[in-house]
């Protein structure tokens, strides 16, 4: 508007001079001067309008540039797709690494368990080797000297074998005279006996063995019948023992 305001001021001066001349009384010249003043006003108005249009165009250009920058800042659908694919690839790589690490861990754990089992078996075998040696010595003694003293040798070997088993956490199940427990013994026959409470183990045909809480082999027993009912308290005491 600087140029526009300057031009208008000049025309205003010219129009003022024209009006002075008209007031002087020169009528023909006054008409010409009026026309000249009107032309000056129109020219000034056109120049002002042109400047306003230029300013509007410059403002519109600035808005267009701002919109263009905004459009450039917002990612396109193709860019969004590429970003999503890159993130998916990154997560897939992480999953594959974790899967490989889990496989390695599981394999090492299985190998360690197998090694521990092997070491435990090796320890048991090492403890049983002296028992085998005693059996062989007993057999050799019987071959050379007859069966004299063989029974004592066998008893000693048996005791040593049981000792090895107990040392390795094995317990003998020998419920003779106690209450029948179906979890640790298997009844193969019933015997009439009214002198003892019902379901008392009369005889053990084959001892059982357990390791910890697991019964490796239940005992084979005969169970009494026809006697008085066993008291619940007695049964609980025997299980506790």
Give 70-115 pLDDT, tens digit per residue. Answer: 555 687 888 888 889 999 999 999 999 999 999 999 999 999 998 8
Q: Which of 71, 99, 114 is the last residue of a domain?
A: 71
Over residues 114-127, the mean pLDDT reads: 81
28 lies in a domain? yes
Give the pairing of strands 219-225 and 201-206.
antiparallel
Q: Is residue 47 part of a domain?
A: yes
User: Strand 208-211 to strand 170-173: parallel, antiparallel, or no bridges (unpaired)?
Assistant: antiparallel
How many domains does the chain fold into?
Answer: 2
8 Å CB contact between 200 and 156: no
For 27-48, what is the mean pLDDT? Answer: 66
How far CA 215 is from CA of 159, 181, 208, 219, in Å, comes to 21, 12, 8, 10
> Could you tell me if residue 228 is inside a domain?
yes
Q: Which of 16-20, 110-114, 124-128, 133-137 has the lowest mean pLDDT?
A: 16-20
- Average pLDDT of the chain is 77
Q: Which residue has the higher pLDDT, 184 or 1?
A: 184
Q: At how many degrees (to 10) do helices 150-167 and 77-145 cross?
A: 160
> Virtual CA dihedral for 41, 42, 43, 45, nearest 10 degrees?
90
**What six digits make up the tokens of 48?**
């002002």
Give the percent of the chain with pLDDT over 70: 72
Domain endpoint, select from 17, 50, 71: 71
pLDDT of 239 reads 55
Averaged pLDDT, 19-35? 52
**Higher pLDDT residue, 43 or 224?**
224
Q: How many residues does the chain have?
A: 241
Task: Assess if residue 205 is contained within a domain.
Answer: yes
* pTM of model > 0.85: no
Read off the CATH number of the domain in which 218 is found: 2.30.22.10
Q: 60 lies in which domain range?
A: 2-71
**CA–centroid distance for 97 within its chain:** 14
> Is the residue at 18 inside a domain?
yes
Query: Does residue 42 fall inside a structural domain?
Result: yes
Who wins on pLDDT, 20 or 134? 134
Q: Confidence class of residue 58 from pLDDT cuts 50, 70 and 90?
A: low
User: Residue 143 domain-assigned?
Assistant: no
Last residue of a domain, one of 71, 105, 125: 71
What pLDDT does 140 receive? 81
Share of the chain above pLDDT 90, in %: 27
Burial pattern 94-109, b for ≥16 Cβ within 10 A else e, equals: eeeeeeeeeeeeeeee
**Alpha-carbon span 35 to 24, nearest angstrom:** 17
In a domain, 21, yes or no: yes
Residue 102: what pLDDT? 92
């Amino acid at each position: 508007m600087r140029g526009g305001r300057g031009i208008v001021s000049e025309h205003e001066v010219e129009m003022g001079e024209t009006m002075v001349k008209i007031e002087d009384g020169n009528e023909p010249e006054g008409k010409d001067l009026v026309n000249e003043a009107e032309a000056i006003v129109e020219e000034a108005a056109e120049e002002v309008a042109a400047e306003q249009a230029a300013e509007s165009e410059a403002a519109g250009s600035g808005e267009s540039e701002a919109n263009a920058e905004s459009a450039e800042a917002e990612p396109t659908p193709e860019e969004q797709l590429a970003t999503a694919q890159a993130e998916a690839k990154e997560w897939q790589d992480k999953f594959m690494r974790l899967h490989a690490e889990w496989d390695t861990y599981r394999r090492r754990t299985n190998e360690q368990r197998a090694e521990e089992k092997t070491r435990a078996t090796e320890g048991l075998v090492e403890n049983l080797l002296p028992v085998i040696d005693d059996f062989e010595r007993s057999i050799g003694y019987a071959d050379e000297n007859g069966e004299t003293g063989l029974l004592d040798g066998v008893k000693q070997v048996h005791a040593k074998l049981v000792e090895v088993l107990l040392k390795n956490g094995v317990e003998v199940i020998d419920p003779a005279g106690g209450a029948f427990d179906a979890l640790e013994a298997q009844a193969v026959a019933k015997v009439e006996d009214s002198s003892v409470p019902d379901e008392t183990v009369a005889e053990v045909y084959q001892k059982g063995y357990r390791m910890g809480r697991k019964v490796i082999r239940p005992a084979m027993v005969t169970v009494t019948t026809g006697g008085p009912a066993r008291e619940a308290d007695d049964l609980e005491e025997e299980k506790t023992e």
